[in-house]
Structure 1
């Protein structure tokens, strides 16, 4: 019993001692040394963009696989009642040129990708066929001028035409009236090629040149906003505006943004090229003859800059040229506008504030 009380007493003394020690520590609390920890910033290198092994021959855009699709050239209706068009956002190149009067048409080139729906498809002209031949493209149209009909019937180019395949390969849209309602699908493009025995493997690679960086071409006259005027009205007045944040141009016609009907999104253009060439009226219907072989003056718009260059017909392909070599293009979609020598580039192409 005595031993038990002895142990309890010793424990009580120990607790009191500890308590006194803690009180002392509270009263005399040592000043803590604040040590500032210096953390060295370690630079983490940015991940380099993967270099893709292949390049699309008509756009210069990198690809994981080699693109062996033969180019497809489609006459696209550009009448105001045919807008907005389907599939134009996915074209590699779009040529715009006069048909009759002040009405223009598009020739849309598809090689990187054929969209699911194309159109409205419109009729052929002989110089449309010449462009298709130069590109070795599979050509699609609905209708033709007399000269174009002769060329197509003699198989100057592999082609299918809505005059023979209306309701078979070409479909009519109910929401539009003829001749602004003819469309063709990707599946029917390929089915049509098979029907006429046309190879869809690319056989001719264009010699377009592309820059590695957009910064390398920012030498020229600033031109972030300009217009191309076909005729006197606004229906075929095209205004292009450079979107610096994206490095591309958007396009308006008659004040209406050019969009793809299938996506409802604005088209994005990397290069706009204006090629000046003689135009001649050849019949009472106002049909034209264009001089595609002689070359001439040209403007190129890219990266918010305009340069005066030339164009040449090289092995059938109308090539932008600068100092005797193919002009360097920004990777992406290119629009090429054919400008009549009379009135000429200076009068049809206007800088805007």
Structure 2
């Protein structure tokens, strides 16, 4: 890795491996953890700024995950601190799963990055971005961004192919190996979320569906779990249970890039301000979101301007151009 950006060179990877071997306690992520193993360094308050739960701080790993029907069920998604839903070509969606508190053994299937990801991830401090590739013209922008890039091409040991699945839906990340190859990755920080008691108002709701042109997400309140069960296109993807769901209304416009078929890639604008609906504790709350620039996190407030607290646990942010 040169500084905090772009691809690593073989010497940097070898150095990281040597440090893992000679450091008694090991660097974070050098040894393969068991499923959902907590990370080693405590936060100053002992609470994750991404989930509001007791956690140990670690570097931030963002993974671009496929989400067409052949890519499901996903692996490792339930262990993410934070999941973003983003629109891509042909009205489909992909997921950006963000990890810091816990790491599963594998994550995937992994797919390609988009231009929107650069702006979205600027709110984190030099995170690792694991993805399968990108449109060739986008490569220079990714390499210039404050990201540690991990792909099958530059870190082959961090990926594995599942022989029971067909390409391109068969590439999986070994997250501990990805982080071992990026020892300078930034640690988790405040991105604007606030956790605590819910506002006194809100409208009771049993479920809420968010539709994209070719995909739909339904979040159903389950009182026994005190969480929203996630279904995609009418099907459950295993035990996905979000404590808080943010339906964030954003601008989605054409980007400068297109996929291999020639379809123009959407660009999801995550800076600025707008409206949102926050699902927590079986209620929906009207909200405003604000992110003044790409380096800042996103704050969510009630219509009167008071901070709108999330329920502690996994957070889903659905970035939708619909209303």
Tell me, yes or no, whether TM beats 0.5.
yes
Mapped partners of 2:237, 2:229: distance in 1: 8
CA contact (8 A) 2:220 2:228 kept: yes
Among 54, 68, 71, the alignment partner of 2:46 is 54
Among 151, 154, 175, the alignment partner of 2:144 is 154
Among 298, 302, 313, the alignment partner of 2:276 is 298
- Cα distance, 1:123 vs. partner? 0.5
Q: Name the counterpart of 2:251.
A: 278
Q: Which has the higher contact order (CA 8 A, sep 6+)?
A: 2
CA contact (8 A) 1:299 1:309 kept: yes
- Cα distance, 1:296 vs. partner? 0.8
TM-score normalised by L of structure 1: 0.72
Correspondence 1:140 to 2:130: yes
- Cα distance, 1:185 vs. partner? 1.0
SS of equivalent residue, structure 2 residue 123: helix
- Cα distance, 1:101 vs. partner? 1.8
Q: Name the counterpart of 1:241.
A: 220
Q: Number of paired residues? A: 271
- Cα distance, 1:147 vs. partner? 5.1
Mapped partners of 2:226, 2:205: distance in 1: 13
Residues 159 and 207 of structure 1: CA distance in aligned 2, closer, same or farther (over 3 Å)? same
Consecutive unaligned residues in structure 2, runs of 5 or more:
1-44
Could you say which structure has the higher strand fraction? 2
Cα root mean square deviation, aligned = 2.1
Give the alignment of 1:161-240 within 5 angstroms: 161-165=151-155, 167-194=156-183, 199-202=184-187, 204-211=189-196, 213=197, 216-217=198-199, 219-231=201-213, 236-240=215-219
Q: Deviations over 1:166-219 (max 9, x none)?
A: x4322111011111111111331123214xxxx2451633332111x5xx4452
Q: Name the counterpart of 2:233.
A: 254
Residues 127 and 316 of structure 1: CA distance in aligned 2, closer, same or farther (over 3 Å)? farther
Mapped partners of 1:142, 1:202: distance in 2: 23
Could you say which structure has the higher helix fraction? 1
Residues 246 and 101 of structure 1: CA distance in aligned 2, closer, same or farther (over 3 Å)? same
Mapped partners of 1:218, 1:245: distance in 2: 21
SS of equivalent residue, structure 1 residue 152: helix
Correspondence 1:334 to 2:315: yes
Residues 229 and 203 of structure 1: CA distance in aligned 2, closer, same or farther (over 3 Å)? closer
SS of equivalent residue, structure 1 residue 210: coil
Query: Which entry has the higher C-alpha Rg, 1 or 2?
Result: 1
- Cα distance, 1:112 vs. partner? 0.8
TM-score normalised by L of structure 2: 0.78
Flag as ranges the 4+ runs of structure 1 deviating above 6 A. none
Mapped partners of 1:290, 1:207: distance in 2: 19
Q: Deviations over 1:18-59 (max 9, x none)?
A: xxxxxxxxxxxxxxxxxxxxxxxxxxxxxxxxxxx6211110
Residues 71 and 326 of structure 1: CA distance in aligned 2, closer, same or farther (over 3 Å)? farther
Consecutive unaligned residues in structure 1, runs of 5 or more:
1-52, 260-265, 346-353
